[in-house]
Amino acid sequence: MSKIKWIEPNDYNDINYKDDFIVIFKHSYRCIISRIVLKKFEFDYKNFSDIKFYLIDVVKNKKLSNELASNFNINHESPQLIVIKNGSLVHNSSHSAISFKNIKN
């Protein structure tokens, strides 16, 4: 069981982009690499009460995944970690570059 309280949005408007910090993890349940990276990310989790964590299934919710890529002018990847502060993109990483340390910095 994950220590992170994930929010699973259904569409773009389900995400509050104006929160101080939000973390979006784009994940494919079909991909073993994505599962490994997600578990490693969850294992390294440190409690931050001021961060909301969103988990997006890129297969089930491809439209939302593509909207995020388009609106923040980033490539669509999976697994992918996107960090937004006050509505602006501050971090984007994928695959082995995903680390919880990136959020702390």
User: pLDDT for 20-42, tens place per residue?
Assistant: 889 999 999 999 999 999 999 88
pLDDT single digits (tens) 54-102: 999 999 999 999 999 999 999 888 999 999 999 999 999 998 888 877 6
Which tokens in the block code for residue 32?
């073993």
Which tokens in the block code for residue 75?
């490539």
In this prediction, residue 103 carries a pLDDT of 67
For all residues of the chain together, what is the average pLDDT?
A: 89
Peptide bond into 79 cis (omega under 30): yes
- Residues 66 and 39: their CA atoms lie apart, in Å, by 23
- Residues 88 and 31: their CA atoms lie apart, in Å, by 28
Q: What pTM was estimated for this model as a whole? A: 0.91
Q: Domains plus CATH for the chain?
A: 6-96 (3.40.30.10)
In this prediction, residue 104 carries a pLDDT of 61
Which tokens in the block code for residue 77?
């990847």
Q: Which of 31, 53, 28, 50 is nearest to 42 (CA)?
A: 53
